């Protein structure tokens, strides 16, 4: 059994049996779900949004602290223009249709990545969602939009190098903690459990630094079919693992 709540004073590196503080999910398999049913890819994305709703609700119910979802990578611009347009339309619909419920449930929305590259109306919707939920103290829902981890780390490296050149910091002071403090996720706990659906077994440029000591779980379930039972099974798997963080 996994606990329904994480203790507020629980150490970030506690061992087996604990509810993870930060769960990250690579939501993969929408296109294959649609193809298997001879449907257009957008149908898979629509069903994927329904899976997001299920998982966000359940994550809030069981007391997860942070849930990060990989919604649109910086590489997704390479997809056909029609598919990118469909994804933006679904993002608009999700915010308009679900923001009230999310806000009333105490969920705080965060976004990582350069979402300001999107169309102006999408940016305004995202800004409004962030502002409306900023004071909430329940689940922190982090949505990765136009996000790429290598770009994030490179940007931080440039910022720290510029500060060192300006004499603001010593080069010797640039350590892991200094880099962590400049990341988009600087105020969030590191990833404890990273899940990827659809059977693929790669990280796809997602939270590479933040997942340095994460437990990785690759499941065959396609994202549109991922539900409460699958989430609880993943958390149960996590609770049975022994995390050593380089120790014995």
Catalytic positions: 28, 76
112 φ, ψ (degrees, to nearest 5): -115, 150
Q: Which residues fall within 8 angstroms of residue 46, CB to CB, at 6 or more apart?
A: 90
H or E element that contains 66: strand 66-73
211 is in an annotated binding site: no
Sign of dihedral through CA atoms 52, 119, 184, 136? negative
Q: Degrees (nearest 5) of the Cα angle 154, 28, 56?
A: 90
Pick from 213, 207, 161: which is nearest to 183 by CA? Answer: 207
Q: Calculate helix-pair angle for 41-62, 228-239, nearest 10 degrees.
A: 50
116 is in an annotated binding site: no
Residue 38: is it exposed, middle or buried by C-beta count within 10 angstroms (0-12/13-18/19+)? exposed
Please state, in angstroms and rounded to a whole number, the distance separating the CA atoms of residues 95 and 71: 13
93 is in an annotated binding site: no
33 is in an annotated binding site: yes
100 is in an annotated binding site: no
CA atoms within 13 A of residue 167's CA, in its CB half-sphere: 0
57 is in an annotated binding site: no
Please state, in angstroms and rounded to a whole number, the distance separating the CA atoms of residues 26 and 28: 6
162 is in an annotated binding site: no
41 is in an annotated binding site: yes
124 is in an annotated binding site: no
Pick from 106, 109, 163: which is nearest to 138 by CA? Answer: 106
22 is in an annotated binding site: no
List the binding residues for Mg(2+).
28, 215
List the binding residues.
28-33, 41, 45, 73-75, 77, 79, 196, 202-204, 215
List the binding residues for substrate.
29-33, 41, 45, 73-75, 77, 79, 196, 202-204
């Amino acid at each position: 059994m996994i606990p329904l709540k994480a203790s507020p004073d629980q150490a970030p590196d506690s061992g087996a049996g604990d509810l993870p503080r930060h769960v990250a999910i690579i939501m993969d398999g929408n296109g294959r779900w649609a193809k298997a049913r001879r449907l257009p890819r957008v149908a898979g994305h629509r069903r994927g949004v329904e899976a997001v709703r299920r998982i966000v609700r359940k994550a809030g119910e069981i007391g997860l602290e942070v849930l990060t979802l990989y919604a649109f990578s910086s590489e997704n611009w390479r997809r056909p223009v029609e598919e990118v347009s469909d994804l933006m339309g679904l993002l608009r619909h999700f915010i308009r249709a679900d923001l009230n419920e999310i806000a009333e449930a105490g969920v705080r929305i965060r976004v990582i990545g350069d979402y300001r590259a999107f169309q102006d109306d999408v940016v305004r919707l995202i800004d409004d969602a962030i502002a409306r939920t900023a004071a909430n103290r329940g689940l922190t829902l982090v949505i990765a939009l136009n996000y790429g981890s290598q770009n994030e780390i490179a940007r931080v490296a440039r910022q720290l190098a510029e500060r060192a050149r300006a004499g603001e910091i010593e080069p010797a002071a640039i350590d892991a903690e200094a880099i962590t403090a400049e990341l988009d996720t600087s105020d969030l706990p590191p990833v404890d459990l990273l899940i990827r659906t659809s059977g693929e077994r790669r990280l796809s440029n997602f939270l590479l630094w933040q997942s340095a000591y994460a437990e990785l779980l690759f499941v065959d379930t396609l994202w549109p079919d991922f539900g409460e039972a699958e989430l609880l099974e993943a958390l149960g798997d996590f609770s049975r693992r022994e995390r050593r963080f380089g120790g014995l």
